[in-house]
Structure 1
Amino acid sequence: MKTKKGFKLRTICGENIIVAEGIENIDFSRIISMNESAAYLWQHIQGADFDADTLTKLLLEEYDIDEATARQDATQLIAKWQEAGIIA
């Protein structure tokens, strides 16, 4: 998987928000907000191929959590990003 072009992470009023850049990506019907760990992952996978294993490894490197929790979180996050249409 890869992040789709035209979606950038911005911090607005202390919130991590995915902002669509370019007319083809503009959809004002929803705002994509990310918590700290999701924003961390997004920053580290920009422009690179990734999968649940990649995200799991990044979570384990940054946070004090067990592998099962990291894998579950990574899998759920990928599903949410797919639903939001920001990865392909």
Structure 2
Amino acid sequence: MNMKIKEDFLLRKVADCYVVVPVGKATVDFNGMMNLNETGAFLWEKLENDTTKEELLKAMLDEYEVTEDIAKKDIDNFITKLKDGNLLE
């Protein structure tokens, strides 16, 4: 299943923090902003284009020294948060 971040949200780096902010119509429904760590920002950038969980897993394993089980859990948690915030198409 392909997933993609909605176009009404932008990732910005502010100092050493990554922040997701709504733009356009999303500013009405999304109150505030979301802070991400480096790994969250990495996954977010991958999700700016259509991608699958398998592609996210491969990218994370290539980028970080992490076990497959931990990477899968982190990806699942991140995707759940995005879905709960209605940030995925």
- TM-score bracket, shorter-length normalisation: 0.7 to 0.9
Map 1:1-88 → 2, pairs under 5 A: 1-22=3-24, 24-27=25-28, 29-46=31-48, 48-88=49-89
- What RMSD over aligned residues (CA atoms) do the two structures have, in Å? 1.5
The alignment-based identity, stated in percent, is: 29
Gaps of 5+ in 1: none
Q: TM-score, normalised by structure 2?
A: 0.85
- Asked if the contact 2:11/2:20 (under 8 Å) is kept, the reply is yes
Deviates more, 1:55-64 or 1:6-15: 6-15
Q: Distance in 2 between matches of 1:74 and 1:54?
A: 11
Gaps of 5+ in 2: none
Residue deviations 1:48-74 (CA, integer Å, cap 9, x gap): 222321221111011001111111111
> SS of the residue aligned with 1:26?
helix
- Asked if the contact 1:52/1:78 (under 8 Å) is kept, the reply is no
Tell me how many residue pairs correspond in the alignment. Answer: 86
